[in-house]
Amino acid sequence: MKVLALLVALLSLLVLATARKQMAARYDNFKVYKAFINDNEQLDAFKKIHQYIHIHMLHDIGGFNRSYEVVVGPEHQHRFEVNLRFFDIEFEIIIEDLQALLDESAYDPDAEMDWVTYHPLDKIYDWVDEQCAAHDYLDCKVIGHSYEGRPIKSIRLSKREGNKAIFIEGNIHAMEWISSATVTYILNQLINSNDAELQRLTEEYDWIVVPMVNPDGFVYTHEVERLWRKNRRPNGYSNSSGPCYGIDMNRNFDFHWSGAGWGIEDPCDHWFNGEQPNTEIEILQLQDFVSSFDEDYIRAYMAFHAYGQYILLPYGHSNTEFPPNYDQMMRIAAAFAEGALDSFGSEFTYGASGLLNYPVSGAAKDWAYGVKNIPFTCTVELRDKGTFGFFLPANQITEVGVEVTEGLKSLIVKAAEEGIFD
């Protein structure tokens, strides 16, 4: 009977694994288009295309005089191109076969943790646990659990009492795999690098890292839909395809919530900001964790995202309102950009997110600045500028980690000069 029970259990696991593999969406011959929007007439037409052609917008749609990337399946490509030409919208195909590109970065589940491939959640968390067990200056906690019950882990590196802290978070948006890859690269350098400057920064400052804010969404991108952005809580709405899931958690923070943004009121869209602010358990636990520390302890808050190579400063909700110490933050952001440039020539643009991109509200960096009074906060949008976008090949992870680490070194030195850590 025991043997039979074991066989049944193994068969169940096999069926589950096979079902998961079969559920995973494929994107064979899906193309990624870049459309160039020149005026309001084109913008209005472009906004409506998704209402009658099945496409996947990769960005919030802001204003004109900019480009937008769109994923389109093979059965809709001809009609999509006809519509763009009808409205004289210029476009180019930047990825011919999305699945072929994704296959280039396919991970080996048996591989050790490294920064030359994208890893699933379990591999990342196992590595975090190993680091926590090996170093007594790491304080590791589960700050809470996601909607589906997965842990949200944190690592606090502290070698000396009385230090001020830098807070880093990653992967609040599920599809942005380069985010957690970069955050764990930085963490690995802080712990294991022999670089003298990095070791000085670990002696003189505390580092608090939450590498995975959205574990449910991240797992979903690995097992079901690579293009998923939000968390996975059913939001109570449905459309023609069935129940709608998820909230864009970087639109759900209670600072000028719902003040601006495209698609934030559509429960089935990728950017739905929720019916109210602070509805998502993941960000409530993140906020509680930040608030658990003494006032004035955390002096910098950095959220890592993809893509575009930006250092986005507060505020997001406006392109005319700026923080009181905006000029100071600009100088610090400039230092990051200068440090990152030296490694591989990657240029980072810096400034208020509402000014550089378009007004959108409810982001973590704005909450950290406007509610928690952390004097330097930003969103770092990582590589690239649109060649691969959210699908950055895994062979660029290490380069991204190197340039961002160099940028961080310069940023901390400049922030200290500016009195951020006083």
pLDDT per position as a tens digit, 300-320 = 999 999 999 999 999 999 999
Same domain, 209 and 297: yes
Same domain, 179 and 148: yes
End position of a domain, from candidates 73, 104, 135: 104
DSSP line for 187-199: HHHHHH---HHHH
Amino acid identity at 160: R
Q: What is the pLDDT of residue 385?
A: 94
Q: Identify the segments of the chain with pLDDT beneath 70.
A: 1-23
pTM beyond 0.85: yes
CA distance 420 to 325: 11
Omega into 310 within 30° of 0, i.e. cis?
Answer: no
CA distance 394 to 397: 5
Q: Is residue 393 part of a domain?
A: yes
End position of a domain, from candidates 69, 104, 139: 104
Q: In angstroms, what CA-CA distances link 209 with 38, 87, 319?
A: 41, 46, 30
CA distance 379 to 377: 7
DSSP secondary structure letter of residue 391: G
DSSP line for 301-320: EEEEEESSSEEEES-SS-SS
Interval 208-248: pLDDT, tens: 999 999 999 999 999 999 999 999 999 999 998 899 999 99
Same domain, 298 and 203: yes
Q: Is residue 226 part of a domain?
A: no
What residues contact residue 299 under an 8 Å CB cut-off, 6+ apart? 164, 165, 166, 374, 375, 376, 415, 420, 421
What burial class does residue 204 get, using C-beta atoms within 10 Å of its C-beta: 0-12 exposed, 13-18 middle, 19+ buried?
middle
Query: Do 281 and 152 meet the contact criterion of CB atoms below 8 Å apart?
Result: no
Q: What is the pLDDT of residue 23?
A: 67
Q: Is residue 95 part of a domain?
A: yes
Q: Is residue 174 part of a domain?
A: yes
End position of a domain, from candidates 39, 69, 104: 104
CA distance 121 to 385: 26
Same domain, 326 and 393: yes
**Sign of the Cα pseudo-torsion (337, 193, 202, 383, in order):** positive
Q: Is residue 98 part of a domain?
A: yes
**Does residue 225 have an active-site annotation?**
no
Query: Do 121 and 150 meet the contact criterion of CB atoms below 8 Å apart?
Result: yes
Pairing of strands 90-95, 31-37: antiparallel
Paired residues of 34 in beta bridges: 69, 92
Same domain, 161 and 79: no
Residue ranges making up the domain that contains 52: 31-104
Q: Is residue 12 part of a domain?
A: no
CA distance 383 to 365: 19
Same domain, 174 and 282: yes
CA distance 273 to 361: 9
CA distance 280 to 417: 37
**Tokens at residue 250, please?**
């970087």
Same domain, 100 and 162: no
Paired residues of 68 in beta bridges: 35
Same domain, 64 and 180: no
Same domain, 90 and 162: no
Q: Is residue 86 part of a domain?
A: yes
Catalytic residue among 169, 280, 282, 381: 381
Query: Do 25 and 226 meet the contact criterion of CB atoms below 8 Å apart?
Result: yes
Same domain, 367 and 397: yes
Same domain, 99 and 125: no
Residue whose token pair is 């006083």? 422
CA distance 266 to 366: 22
Q: Is residue 22 part of a domain?
A: no
Same domain, 325 and 390: yes
Query: Do 354 and 316 meet the contact criterion of CB atoms below 8 Å apart?
Result: yes
Which CATH number is 80's domain given? 3.30.70.340
Which CATH number is 349's domain given? 3.40.630.10
**Tokens at residue 136, please?**
């007594």
The domain tally of the chain equals: 2
